[in-house]
Amino acid sequence: MHRSGAVMAWNVFKFCTALRGLGSIMILLVLGVVGVTYYAVVLTNYGPALYDGGFDSFLAFVVLLLFHGLLVMLLWSYFSVVLTDPGSVPPNWRPVVDEERGESDPLSGSDYSALQSDSSNPRIRYCRKCNQFKPPRCHHCSVCGRCVLKMDHHCVWVVNCVGALNYKYFLLFLFYTFLETSLVTLSLLPHFIAFFSDGEIPGTPGTLATTFLAFVLNLAFALSVFGFLIMHVSLVSANTTTIEAYEKKTTPKWRYDLGRRKNFEQVFGTDKLHWFLPGYSEEDKRRIPALQGLEYPSKPDFDSEEF
């Protein structure tokens, strides 16, 4: 029995290492899909159509303008998720246990050894792997091998954890990917239908195959990202992470649900100009503590209750 447990732990470790190794391949895969799509839309179909004259030129101009605009936003959001640290626990972070003690001072060191062993206190969360206290909504990621603030999930497509500091960028990546792949699907649809018509279609076998592949890939991405986007819209409006959505199945009331508007602002900020950009205004960063990933306001009637 003991031996099988050890083997299982080893397998899980191998799995996590494999996921980490998958990293650069996934980035290349994303860039590969972008490359195939760019070749099909810009170089093969709508670039040459610019010179057709009349309405065709106008349509090609509109498609190319939207395509490039969305592509810039998509890649900007994508690399923001990939390169932004989702949020780690500051060294020596200590929970403030003021309610039980009736004072606002953080506990002193000697109290902590007692608290660590006090498993009956659900307000104190401790990570045995990292050997540190966990702030509220923080979870340990076995792929990253560390605790991540307001961890949502570990995403293989962005080779990073999605957490407090890059969740908005991840949502924008989904949003722009959905718009871009829908645009590509619609703009390549006439060319795709032409494959099944009897008439001659212009182009070499290579360009025709790329157009076919780009259409199928973009349709598949548009459909799957749409489902994912709908799921995350409902998570944001309820102020829940993917992990918490699994955990809180049995609790109808959720302490962090402050109403749709406030829940949205905790992820996207209050500055409308920044809603569609992977970043925050300096004022929002100062004003909204949730954007730092350590403190989250909860409903007033929950303040006196346990986690």
CA–CA dist 210, 195 (Å, integer):
12
Q: Which is closer to Zn ion, CB of 97 or CB of 147?
A: 147
Query: Least distance from C-beta 297 to Zn ion, angstroms?
Result: 24
Question: How big is the CA angle at 32 (ends 52 and 157), to the nearest 5 degrees?
Answer: 130
- What phi and psi values does residue 140 have, to the nearest 5 degrees? -85, 130
Q: Which is closer to Zn ion, CB of 154 or CB of 191?
A: 154
Which candidate in 141, 147, 155, 161 is catalytic? 155
Q: Which is closer to Zn ion, CB of 45 or CB of 166?
A: 166
Beta bridge partners of 140: 147
Q: What b/e string do you get for 140-164 counting C-beta neighbours within 10 Å, with b at 16 or more? A: ebebbebbbbbbbbbbebbbbbbbb
Query: Least distance from C-beta 168 to Zn ion, angstroms?
Result: 17
Q: Which is closer to Zn ion, CB of 45 or CB of 160?
A: 160
User: In this structure, is the dihedral angle defined by the CA atoms of residues 234, 147, 155 and 85, taken in order, positive or negative?
Assistant: positive
Q: Which of helix, strand or coil describes residue 126?
A: strand
Q: Binding mask 121-160 vs Zn ion (x if CB under 5 A, - otherwise)? A: ------x-xx---------xx-xx--x------x------
Q: In the chain, which ranges are continuous DSSP H helix?
A: 2-21, 23-38, 47-49, 54-83, 98-101, 109-117, 167-195, 205-237, 242-247, 260-268, 282-287
Query: Least distance from C-beta 85 to Zn ion, angstroms?
Result: 11
Query: Least distance from C-beta 165 to Zn ion, angstroms?
Result: 13
Q: Which of helix, strand or coil describes residue 46?
A: helix
**Residues contacting 20, CB < 8 A, separation 6+:** 143
Per rule CB under 5 A, count of chain residues that contact Zn ion: 10
Beta bridge partners of 155: 160
List binders of Zn ion among 255-284 (CB under 5 A).
Answer: none
Place of tokens 């309610």: 99
Query: Least distance from C-beta 191 to Zn ion, angstroms?
Result: 40
Q: Which is closer to Zn ion, CB of 134 or CB of 232?
A: 134
Q: Which is closer to Zn ion, CB of 146 or CB of 248?
A: 146
Query: Least distance from C-beta 173 to Zn ion, angstroms?
Result: 16
> If binding is defined by CB under 5 A, does position 26 make contact with Zn ion?
no
Could you tell me the two tokens for 88?
């780690």
Active site residue 155: yes
Could you tell me the two tokens for 73?
């936003």
Using CB under 5 A as the criterion, which residues of the chain lie in contact with Zn ion when the complex forms? Answer: 127, 129-130, 140-141, 143-144, 147, 154, 161
Residues with active-site annotation: 155
